[in-house]
Amino acid sequence: MSVVLTSIEGAVATVTVNRPEALNAINTDVLNALEQAFAEVEANPQVRAGVLTGAGTKAFVAGADIKAMQAFGAEEARAFSAHGHRVFALMEQSRLVWIAAVEGFCLGGGCELAMAADWINASAKSKFGQPEVNLGLIPGFGGTIRLVRRVGQAKALELCATAEMVRGEEALRIGLANALYEPGEVLVKTQEQAALIASKGSLAVANAKRVIRAGADLPAERGNAFEQQAFGIQFGTADGQEGMAAFVEKRRAGFTGK
């Protein structure tokens, strides 16, 4: 059985980290399989939104694989970190919105993987944390950067320095999760949300994602200029014309992704 599974339902792809016996811990095989899965989904014109999850109900992903990392020297650790950064960034660079559906433990590299998605939907029984200092380590898959952007510098450092876990409700409160669902419901609810996104103009969704993600790293003046350019581009698309015509003609828009 592959360590990463991909299923496609309508226009929604669901990518599942599938090592439940190790609480879906991330090793090199998982990174390679995720890289392949993201590339295949990206290239599939049928797919218009993505969901990332973990197999089983006990964990989304309980971290990087500690047993595998134990054998690393500094150079292997740096290469493993670079590999993870490259693979996780594929979701950020994607034309698709990616949503992480988190049930159970979401720790260390697992929390970093979830944060590389565009947002996180959490189960009320989920537990988030960056417990690397318990192992004498620090986050190595982008957590120090992405966590600060989600929850602010002081809360990010508090989580990384104390290794304390927070429950789904607290993750929602601090802005780490966007939504909270009953245990067992988060995947289905997230797939429903992804299907809603997939029903919109896909070029517009991709453009909005590109502008918002780029804008977060730009000074406001350049971000505003980038938005103006991107706004103009939408008017040259068939979807933009169709969406406005449908409103004026009081009918449902038929988007083609062109």
Closest-by-Cβ residue to ligand DAK is: 140
**Strand order through the sheet with 98-102:** 4-9, 12-17, 49-54, 98-102, 119-123, 179-181
Q: Which of 9, 40, 42, 132 is catalytic?
A: 132
Q: Which of 21, 42, 103, 112 is catalytic?
A: 112
Give me the residues that bind ligand DAK (CB under 6 A), please: 22-23, 25, 62-67, 77, 80-81, 84, 105, 107-109, 131-132, 134-135, 137, 139-141
Judged by beta carbon, residue 13 or residue 62, the one nearer ligand DAK is 62
Identify which of 91, 106, 103 has the alpha carbon closest to the alpha carbon of residue 209.
91
Q: How far is the CB of 56 from ligand DAK (least distance, A)?
A: 10
- Does residue 40 have an active-site annotation? no
Judged by beta carbon, residue 50 or residue 140, the one nearer ligand DAK is 140
- Does residue 132 have an active-site annotation? yes
Q: Return the amino acid letter for 258.
A: K
Q: How far is the CB of 14 from ligand DAK (least distance, A)?
A: 23
Cβ proximity of 45 and 38 under 8 Å: no
Measure the CA dihedral 45/50/54/55, to 10°: -50
Judged by beta carbon, residue 65 or residue 239, the one nearer ligand DAK is 65
Using DSSP bridges, classify how beta strands 59-61 and 105-107 pair: parallel, antiparallel or unpaired. Answer: parallel
Identify which of 55, 51, 50 has the alpha carbon closest to the alpha carbon of residue 2.
55
Judged by beta carbon, residue 73 or residue 236, the one nearer ligand DAK is 73
Residues recognised as catalytic: 112, 132
